Every structure is written in structure tokens, then in C-alpha cells.
A and B are shown apart, each in its own frame.
Chain A
Amino acid sequence: MPTPLHTPRVNNNDDTVRLVKLLVKPGDEVRVGQLVAEVETDKANFTVESDRDGYVLAVEKALNDTIDVGSVLLWLGASTDEIVPAGAVSAIATASNASATPTLKAAQLLAKHGLSASDVPAIGERLTIADVEAFLAARTPNPSNLSIASGIVQPLTPEERGMLRTVSWHHDHAVPGYVELRYEADRWERAAAEYQKRERLLLGPLLALMAHRLARLAAADPKLNSTIVGDNRHVYSAVNLGFTVQSDSTLYLTVVQNAAVLGCREFVDRLGQLQRGALAHTLRSPDLTGATIAFSSMARWNVSRHVPVLPPYTSLIVAHAEVRGGAGTLGATYDHRVLTGYDALAVLRELTTPEELA
């Protein structure tokens, strides 16, 4: 099955990178760990490695493109005969075609505004900063033409741009639905307390155990761990569990890679490391990319209900809320292109009870 290789995050402050070197082409055989591309930001260069053995089926980006972190860089397959799902280019990644190569300053301005070189028409052979500025001037609405009160225009921070992209994907691509159910929380709380005592843990493991259960449910039912590409379902080969962590004013979606194959204690420890990294703002690219399903809790703030936004290219995010009077609420936002409300509800029913904790 074709498998996407996603664009990595180079640092926490840049949601886009520039593709400066492609080391493979369609048809090439690659090995796990082999360098396939080089990307850069204003501050750093970063090599991209293949995460598996296989053959390059398609390269989704063009050299010098400014590309979104987390978007598909290229597709790999077990043989060269495999076909990249139709529509993959437009559905998952913002593809580039024969766009003019940007100058360095133009590339920096493109990155600043989250644009790709292919978004902006060039007057000459190279895409210049003047081209980008003209494009931005034409795109930016003149407040005097809008029926809104006067004010100032402020650029978004990288975190705000990331949020904009997430909610835009949710709005423009997914067809979100939401279900929730009430459950008796005492079984989970007892199980978590016993596990904490047995493992001599400092931190209450309730949310980590629930998230691990979700990852295992997704492994058992691959439909939960998939997205839509063109007219096809793209089933991910691994369950990468996204888990939201609020750190100061930044909301991170930390990612436990290959979560379903981890043992319970391994998962609890790995998630703990990610939470610490988020709180210290020291997370790196693999810690934040490639979520295929997600879990979010706002119980900490005594929130009784929240309807989370789907992270891009996921079909399910579970929402955990406060427990009051022994009863809790579990909700789920799901992509109705992939799952039905019944599917999502079935997951929540399973999640209301802990499995035997190994």
C-alpha cells in the first residue's frame, strides 16, 4: 500500500520549510534511514530520512517550494507497481507544478505568509520579492473596502498560523460530526489508581491509559486510523496517537509514534516525556508530526463538554471532560467521510471501560 512520507518539523517556530534538495526520484529504491531530501528554514537545515524500505512512487513537492510541516513530501511503496491514490496531491498536500524558482528573499516572504511558490505568479523567470509583495497586496483586503470598523492588521504568530491551518482543514476538507456519551467513571479511576500504585508512579496515569486504550482500539479497527484521499480511504500503517498539551499560551499536539505496539508502561512513560517536552517547549519534529488519531482532555479546567477540531488527516479525536458526581463525559469529533456516528459511538463505548492493564 502506498505510504506517505511527511514533511518534518525543523523547529517549533516554523510551520513551513523550504525544499532545497531532492535526493531521490520516482522509481528509486530507498532503505530505512536513507536521506531523501533536505529542507531548510531561516534558521536551520534538516535532512529528511526514509522511515521504511521501499520504492519512491511519487514526489509531491518541487524544488524550492515552501511547504507545510506535516504535508506529504513523497509516497513510498513496496514495489514500483503501486499507484498513488488518485487525488492525493490535491487532497493531502498543496502540490506545486511548474512554478518559477523563488529568490531567497521571495522564499522567506513566502514562508512568512505560509505560501508556496506555486501560489504566486512570477513576472519573470524567477519569482521575486516584488512578485510576492504584489500578490500579497492584491490578496490583502483593504479595510476601507470592508464593512468593518477600522483597525490595524497584525501578522499571525507561527502557533496561530498552525491553528488556522488546522481549523481550515477541519472546515474545508473534513465533514465533521460529533457524538458524546455519559459514563460511570469509577472503574477507570479505580484502574488508574491501582496501576499508579503498582507501578509506583508519581503522576496519575488516567489520561495516558485512556489514550493508550484508544490507540489499541484503532489498531484493532483500521478504519478509525485512516483518512480520505481522493475517492479512497487511506489507511495508515501505524497508529500515531496525537495528545493535546496546553503549555502557556501554546496548544501542542504531541504525537506518540507507533503507539499501539507500545506496552502500557512504555506508552505512559513516552507520553510523560512528550508532556514534559511540551511544557518546556523543547519538542522536536517527530514529537509533533504524523498524528493519525487523537485524544484531548479539558477536565483540568472543569470543562463539562468540548467539541475538538480534527487534526489534519485524522478521522477521530476523542474529547475527555470533567467527572462530576462520579459521572464523566466522553465525546468524539469524527470525519463523516470515513466514519459514521455509530462508529464513533462504538469507540466511545469501548473507551468507557478499561481493559485489563498489563
Chain B
Amino acid sequence: MTTHAFDTNAARNDVRAKVIDLASRLGHEKPALGDDDVIPKTGLLDSTGIMELIVWLETRFDVEIDQSDLTIENFGTVNAIVAYLAAHARPMA
């Protein structure tokens, strides 16, 4: 079995695209998001939208996210999310 390193660039693009997709569904027109923008402060996603993002992250990256890990430090920005995923995602077979 071989393992592949976590692809941070691909993950960053995926996460950013998902946030923008969720924001679009909430009625934001052409939402823009920088990788260090604090997502809750951008107003793009409400609490349920962020929850939807968390549920998607668990499925997309095969990672279990503990409720107590849901902090701004871990999930506040695209870059923070990618760093968390890199540390917690299971190696790809």
C-alpha cells in the first residue's frame, strides 16, 4: 500500500469553492473570499451554513471533527481549515 501526502493546494481550492457555493445558495451574488478572511465575519455563511460546511468537510476529507474542535482558530478561515485537515485527515490509500 502506498500513501499520498495531503494535497493542500487542492484542498484549499475545494474548501474555498464550497464556501462560495454555500454562500451562493444563501443568495449572495458572486461572493468573493480570501483564504485568510474570517468566514463568520464575512457574513457569507450563517451558523447553519457553516454547519453544512463542517458536515461536507467530514465527508469530503474523511475526517471526524469533534464538536469541541469547532473554534475560530481551527475553522475560521480557508487556510485554518486546510491546516486542520492536513493534521487530521486520514492518509489516502
Q: Which residue of A lies closest to B27 (CB)?
A: A302
CB distance from A340 to the nearest CB of B (A): 33
CA distance A207 to B46 in the complex (A): 12
Candidate in B58, B59, B70 with the most chain A CB atoms within 10 angstroms: B70
Measured in the bound complex, the distance between the Cα atoms of B40 and A205 in whole Å is 12
| CB of A261, distance to nearest CB on chain B (Å) | 19
Total inter-chain residue pairs, C-beta < 8 Å = 47
B3 lies within 8 A of chain A by Cβ: no
B48 on the interface (CB 8 Å rule)?
Answer: yes
B72 at interface, CB cutoff 8 A: yes
Is the Cβ of B71 less than 8 Å from the Cβ of A204? Answer: no
Q: Is the CB of A202 within 8 A of B75?
A: yes
Asked if B32 CB lies within 8 Å of chain A CBs, one says: no
Q: Is B83 an interface residue (CB 8 A)?
A: no
Neighbouring B residues of A205 by C-beta, 8 Å: 47
CB distance from B57 to the nearest CB of A (A): 11
The answer to whether A202 touches B55 (Cβ under 8 A) is no
Verify A204–B47 contact, CB threshold 8 A.
Answer: yes
Asked if B46 and A300 sit within 8 Å, CB to CB, the answer is: yes
**Shortest Cβ distance from B74 into A: residue:** A202
A 264-323 contacts with B by CB, 8 A = 269, 272-273, 275-276, 279-280, 300
**Known contacts A280-B58, A300-B46; A203/B68 CB under 8 A:** no
Q: Judging by beta carbons under 8 Å apart, are A200 and B67 in contact?
A: no
Chain B positions near chain A (C-beta within 8 angstroms): 40, 46-48, 50-52, 54-55, 58-59, 67-68, 70-76
A203-B50, A269-B67, A279-B52 given; 14 more Cβ-contact pairs under 8 Å: A201-B70, A201-B71, A201-B72, A202-B70, A202-B71, A202-B74, A206-B47, A275-B51, A276-B51, A276-B67, A279-B48, A280-B59, A300-B46, A300-B48
